[in-house]
Amino acid sequence: MDWDDMRIFLSVAREESLSGAGKALRLDPATVGRRIARLERDIDAVLFVKSPQGYVPTEAGERLIAHAEAAEQAMTGAVTEVRGREEGLSGTIRLGAPDGCATYLLPHVTRRLVAQNPGLEVQIVALPRVFNLSKREADMAIGVSRPTAGRLRIQKIADYGLHLMASEDYLHGAGPIRSADDLKGHPVIGYIPDMIFDRELDYLAELGLERVDLASNLVSVQVGWLRAGAGIGVAHDFVAPDAPELRPILPETHRLTRTFWLIRHVDDARVERLNRFAAVLTEGLRTEIASRTGA
C-alpha cells in the first residue's frame, strides 16, 4: 500500500472534501479523487460516501483511519528519532487554546520555547470554541473543562483564579461596593450568553449576575472594556500584569477557580516530539501563571 495514498486518504477524512484535501496538500481536487479511487480499488473497499455535509468515511474507512494515523505517527516518530534529541524540538506544532490563555499566557511561554529551540515553529489557533483533535484541527489543545468523550489523553496543567473586577477610575466614581447588594445598577461586562461554548465560562451566572450590558465572545475585548472604565466583570488573575489599573471587587466572596487541561489525541502518546513539547509547555504555563499571580 502506497503511503502517499494513505496521506491523501487522511487529508480527505479530516477536511471532509476533495477540494479541502487538495488545498491542504497542494494537489488538484481531481488528482485527490483519482488517488482515493485507486486506493479503494487496491483494498477492494469503499472508503467514503458523499453526503450534503461532505465526504463521510464508511465503516471500512473508519477502520482504515486508525491504521493510517498509526502509520503517520510512526513516520513522524522515526524522523524525530533519526534527528536525535540533542537537536531540540523542531518542526511545526499547532496548538489550540481559549483566547484568554492565548492572549495573556502563551505569547510569553512560546517565545521562550522557540528561542530555546530554533528549529521549532509554533502556531496558536486562538478561538472561543472546542477543538476537534480527531480531525487534526490542532496537534493538541488547551481546554477549560475536562472532556468526557473521545479517544483523548488529558493532563491537568494548573488551576487559576478569577475575580470580579473593575478599573480603579471606575470604582473611584462609582462609590463603595461592600456587599453583593451594592452590585445592582452597575454595568456588567461578560460573554455573549448564547455564545458561551463551555459551561465553565458561565462566570456571571455562578456569581448571581444575570444581566450583561456589554458582551463579547473574546476575553481581550471584555478586559478592554474593564480597563476603559465601562463597568464591572470577571477577569483572570493572570491578566493583572497587563492591566494594572484593574482592582478585585468583593475578593472574599466573588472569586472563582478554574483549571486548564492539556488535551491530546490518545495515539499521539507514541510521538516523542509531541510528548516533549507537551512536557515543556505544561511546565512553562505553570511557571507563567505562578509568576503573574504571585502563587
Query: What does the DSSP assignment read for the chain?
Result: --HHHHHHHHHHHHHSSHHHHHHHHT--HHHHHHHHHHHHHHHTS--EEEETTEEEE-HHHHHHHHHHHHHHHHHHHHHHHHH-GGG-S-EEEEEEE-HHHHHHTHHHHHHHHHHH-TTEEEEEEE-SS---TTTTS-SEEEESS---SSSEEEEEEEEEEEEEEEEHHHHHHH----SGGGGTTS-EEE--GGG--SGGG-HHHHTT----SEE-S-HHHHHHHHHTT--EEEEEGGGGGG-TTEEESSTTTSEEEEEEEEEEEGGGGG-HHHHHHHHHHHHHHHHHHHHHHT-
Q: Which three cell numbers stand for residue 239?
A: 491578566
223 compared with 83, residue with greater pLDDT: 223
CATH architecture of 160-256: 3-Layer(aba) Sandwich (3.40)
pTM: 0.71
Percentage of the chain surpassing pLDDT 70?
91
- Give domain limits for the chain: 3-83, 89-158+259-293, 160-256
Question: What average pLDDT does range 164-191 have in this prediction?
Answer: 93
pLDDT tens digit sequence for 233-255: 999 999 999 999 999 999 999 99
State residue 196's pLDDT score. Answer: 84
How far is CA 295 from each of CA 41, 93, 164, 234, rounded to the nearest angstrom? 60, 29, 19, 19
Establish whether domains 3-83 and 160-256 are of one fold.
Answer: no
Beta-carbon contacts of residue 77 (< 8 Å; ≥ 6 apart): 270, 271, 272, 273
CATH topology for 3-83 is Arc Repressor Mutant, subunit A (1.10.10)
What is the spatial distance between Cα 96 and Cα 94, in angstroms, rounded to a whole number? Answer: 7
pLDDT tens digit sequence for 253-274: 999 999 999 998 887 777 788 8
CATH topology for 89-158+259-293 is D-Maltodextrin-Binding Protein; domain 2 (3.40.190)
pLDDT at 128 over 70: no
pLDDT tens digit sequence for 24-47: 888 999 999 999 999 999 899 999
Q: Which three cell numbers stand for residue 195?
A: 455564545
pLDDT at 124 over 90: yes
107: left (phi over 0), alpha (psi -120 to 50) or beta: alpha
State residue 37's pLDDT score. Answer: 92
Residue with cell 512536557: 279
